[in-house]
Amino acid sequence: MNNFFYLEGAYLILGAFALLITLFVTTRSFMAKGAMKKGLLWVSLVVVVMVSAHYVITSNRMAEVAAAFEKGLPIICESRATRKVAQTVIVQKSYEWRLEAYNFISPNYTRPFFIARCIVK
């Protein structure tokens, strides 16, 4: 739960924006009575379900990647530095990678990789 705002911050902001749009639209004069309550309730419910589902899926994948890394299995991480060539990096203990606070770090590579952006090969 300590990574919740880090992982879901952007989605929480998008959800708040959707709620503001819902609030604006449902308070217009052409909307029926009670539309604001219904609209905010349903949009809030959808946002909560979607953000919660994304968090659970991402947390489970992070745990799976960490366990596989400890077993010595290869991990594929997205490289956001280069978009044309070598968009992925293979992370493995035998290649001098280590896991520190949800980041894969190597003395042979200039930048760390956050574990949430990786999958087991």
Summarised one tens digit per residue, pLDDT across range 32-72 is 888 889 999 999 999 999 999 999 999 899 999 999 999 98
Check residue 28 and report its DSSP letter. S
φ and ψ at 69, to 5 degrees? Answer: -65, -40
Question: Given phi > 0 = left and psi -120 to 50 = alpha, else beta, which region is 92?
Answer: beta
For residue 79, pLDDT beyond 80: no
**Rounded Cα–Cα distance for residues 49 and 117 (Å):** 22
pLDDT at 48: 95
Residue bearing the bigger pLDDT, 118 or 2: 118
Segment 83-105 mean pLDDT: 82
Please, which pLDDT band fits residue 1 given cuts at 50, 70 and 90? low
